[in-house]
A and B are shown apart, each in its own frame.
Chain A
Amino acid sequence: MKSNVLKLWCLALVVAMTFLTACGTKNDDGSKTPHGEQEGGNGQETSIELNFMHFNVKESSEGGTLAFYDAMEMFKDNNPNIEIEEEILGHDAYETKIKTLAAANELPDLFVIKGSMVSAFVESGLINPVNDILEQAPAWKDGFMDGVFNDFKMGDNIYALPYSNKSTHIIYYNEDIFEECGITSFPASWEGFKDAVGKIRDKGYTPIALGNKGKWVVGSCILSTLGDRFTGTDWFMSIKDRKGAKFTEPEFVDALAAVQELAVMGAFNADMNSIDNMQHKTLYYGGKAAMFFEGAWAISSISEEAPQEIADVTKLAILPAVEGGKGDAKAVSAGAGWGYNMNAELQGEKKQAAVEVFKALTDEKQAKISMEYNAMPASNPGEYDESKLTPLFKQYADIMAEAKSVPVYDVQLEPAVIEVMNSGLQELLIQATTPEELAKKIQKEYE
């Protein structure tokens, strides 16, 4: 008998061991991050050390990244006493890591956060509002464009400093394929759009290349705008502020149904849930797909990566108006998405230094550089050299000049709701669930 009990324990421990090894790696990850705190304490040091974690990968050719490094270099030259130790990760890895570090309360001094992380970080007391910092430098504050703080607001408090302002919804389409299928201009109505999709499919092309393995593409780049066409922005604001709107309302269900309808009619490639957004661009570059939906960040990818003959015929558009929908036909889901903030524990001269870094990364000078690198900044760039803009970026700037920015779902909603929505969208695309069921599920998580 006794030996049986002993055996049970042994078994339990063996099983536990097999699991916890998996968890262990994550913890390791966290503890490796240098904690800037310890060195800050002694006053003899003349240089201020800050560690900064971000996802501007050095090898990237994205405009925003290039602008970031220009600003960082300039800042380091001007402030030799501030030593910035950077830790750079790829975008997706960064997102996982920052959340893990936050859970372990081991955030670096400076970091980038996403709008959807704000509520969790604030609840845990990890970040402070940046209102006071902004108030101290009115010129800097006024430089920011209208609405860029929306993603990071809770009540009147602002919780991050945005550095870019991008649309998450742009349709990139191949004009040649459209013409070949007898479509002379981009459809102006939802029915017309579906009609066009049908024509393109019948010609043997993939109408819309979609790589939704990361689960966010459909939610971010399609549904945020399509949903707004159906529901209008007031509905979303009511959802966000918890003023009574429901996901089960017929307009939102219709929007989900519209996504499913596209999938059913064969608008997407069959492997949409197992390829990512790099691969869906590859499909488009290969001339096998007529369109893809992605944010403004893909503009630079087109000019950097696409074969010349594809880049030349690529045009930009946004979803057309939906008949009977409550939303504005010019609405485009857009926002800053990510913004800078610092560890709530940062004090005194370290905090001051951090503010200086952020200023350098978001001020007007930086906005100008950013614009000339073809990346839309969050601050007004003032005068800039228009000849440095690529034709595609000019087109984008024109679209955005007319567009009305509406919220991006997965930036503004809580992470738990987003996860349910995004997983559900994958199921919706393969008809494993119905729009009504999904709406109920999202609503349940929301409550």
Chain B
Amino acid sequence: MNHKLMRPKTEVLLGLLSPGLLIYCFIVVLPLFVSFRYSLFDWSGGINMEFVGLGNYIDLVQDGDFWFSFKNNVMIIMLSILGQVGIAFVVSALLMSKLLKWREFHRVVIFLPVVLSAVVIGFLWTIIYSKDMGLLNWILKALHLESFIIPWLDDPRYVIYTVTIPLIWQYIGFYLIIFMAAMQSIPKDIFEVADIDGATGIKKAVYITLPLLYDTLKVAIMLCIAGNMKVFDHIYVMTGGGPGKSSTVMAQYAYDNSFVMFKLGYGSAISIGILVLSLALILLSRKLMGGNKNEA
């Protein structure tokens, strides 16, 4: 095609790219290396740094709390893939169907939480979960379901689920937009043919929409994993990682080590650990979902 013609000169290309690239290098790539360097030291801020080689990493691998927080992240990811991506898929399928009224309204309401700050969401849900004046307990009481009331944010058995719900709630809208965009690009005639063949709503979703959205789904899941590996603010606001360590995620653990316990070297090692684990998880998810075979 006319690729060659449209393509600007290399210098122009580089010139246009360089500002963004420089900023990116400065705020992303450089700190990554600096962080890696810190992770090789026993350092509590300031001028005294003691080189410990891979000592921090050896500690990290044996650190039960770190693996526990990793497990929490994995839980959140699992729940979010089901919740965020799953619910978003169902809702977008509904929004595309002809059954639903007030389409715009639903879309706006579902998308609204996405633009809220994480801290606001955290506070909002802290109030909802509150024992004495919380909306949730109030509703349960009004429905005479007192037996379902539990200390939402205080029971180590449930806290990881209760802190995940706001996360899911917030980001459904984000995936909804992605899916809707992808669904709108599915040619109408395929659906028409399906209609003629007698496919009903659910069958259409499973046999047509889902396979044709497979690539989008993969991207969504990857975003979901990457986003939830770094989750921090919501949980920090709601429980501060408590009770004890039961809702501590990896980012919080890195934060606690760096800025509460002043172990900046070890904190950096944790950050690098998070990076490696995230990468591993994403690669794993791509392997599981059939890798690159659909790409050219």
Contact = CB atoms under 8 A, between A and B. Distances in A.
A270 B158 CA distance: 14
Given A124-B47, A426-B242, A426-B244, A271 B262 contact: no
Contact of B243 (A14, A20, A273): A273
Contact of A18 (B29, B32, B151, B226): B226
A422 to B, nearest CB: 9
Contacts of A273: 153-154, 239, 242-243
Contact of B282 (A15, A100, A120, A419): A15
Interface stretch (B77-85, B175-183, B252-260): B252-260
A88 interface: no
Interface string B217-261: 000000000110110100000111111111000010000101111
B263 interface: yes
A275 B263 CA distance: 28
Contact of A20 (B28, B238, B258): B28
Interface string A379-420: 000000000000000000000000000000000000110010
Contacts of A430: 154-156, 243-244
Given A15-B278, A125-B48, A274-B129, A20 B27 contact: yes
A121 B44 CA distance: 9
A22 interface: yes
A23 interface: yes
Interface string A414-447: 0110010001101101101100000000000000
A48 interface: no
A241 B293 CA distance: 64
B28 A16 contact: yes
Nearest to A15: B278
Q: Which of A20, A215, A272, A424 has the most B CB atoms < 10 Å from its CB?
A: A20
B244 A20 contact: no
Interface residues of B, number: 53
Given A20-B32, A274-B239, A419 B244 contact: no
Nearest to B129: A274
Interface string A1-33: 000100110011111111110111011000000
Contacts of B130: 271, 275
B124 interface: no
Given A15-B275, A16-B275, A274-B151, A120 B262 contact: yes
A321 to B, nearest CB: 30
A40 to B, nearest CB: 21
B240 A270 contact: no
A15 B132 CA distance: 40
A270 B154 contact: yes
A18 B153 contact: no
B92 interface: no
B283 interface: yes
A15 B229 contact: yes
B31 A271 contact: no
A124 B230 CA distance: 29
B126 interface: yes
A19 B259 contact: no
A104 B47 CA distance: 10
A220 B154 CA distance: 20
A415 B261 CA distance: 5
A13 B28 CA distance: 8
Given A16-B32, A20-B32, A123-B48, A415 B230 contact: no
Contacts of B264: 103
Contacts, number: 151
A272 B274 CA distance: 31
B112 interface: no
Contacts of A416: 261-263
A105 interface: yes
A432 B131 contact: no
Contacts of B155: 430
Contacts of A11: 279, 282-283
Given A13-B29, A120-B44, A426-B243, A22 B279 contact: no
B108 to A, nearest CB: 26
B240 A214 contact: yes
Contact of B259 (A17, A100, A274, A429): A100
Given A12-B279, A213-B242, A427-B243, A102 B28 contact: no
B124 to A, nearest CB: 14
A283 B278 CA distance: 43
Contacts of B24: 17
A432 B28 contact: no
A20 B251 CA distance: 11
B45 interface: yes
Interface in A173-223: 213-215
Contacts of A215: 240, 242
A345 to B, nearest CB: 12
Q: Which of A16, A26, A215, A424 has the most B CB atoms < 10 Å from its CB?
A: A16
B268 to A, nearest CB: 10
Interface in A228-273: 269-273
A180 to B, nearest CB: 21
Interface string B1-40: 0000000000000000000000010011101100000000
Contact of A424 (B29, B241, B244, B258): B244
A15 B241 CA distance: 23
20 contacts: A12-B275, A15-B226, A18-B226, A19-B275, A99-B45, A99-B259, A99-B262, A100-B259, A102-B46, A104-B45, A105-B47, A213-B240, A269-B131, A271-B153, A273-B154, A273-B239, A415-B260, A416-B261, A416-B263, A423-B244
Interface of A: 4, 7-8, 11-20, 22-24, 26-27, 96, 99-100, 102-105, 120-121, 123-126, 213-215, 269-275, 283, 415-416, 419, 423-424, 426-427, 429-430, 432-433
Given A271-B130, A415-B262, A433-B244, 18 more contacts: A15-B282, A16-B275, A18-B226, A19-B271, A19-B275, A19-B278, A20-B28, A22-B251, A27-B31, A121-B46, A123-B44, A124-B45, A124-B46, A274-B131, A274-B151, A274-B152, A415-B260, A426-B244
A-B CB proximity, top 5 nearest:
A124-B46, A427-B244, A103-B45, A274-B153, A273-B243
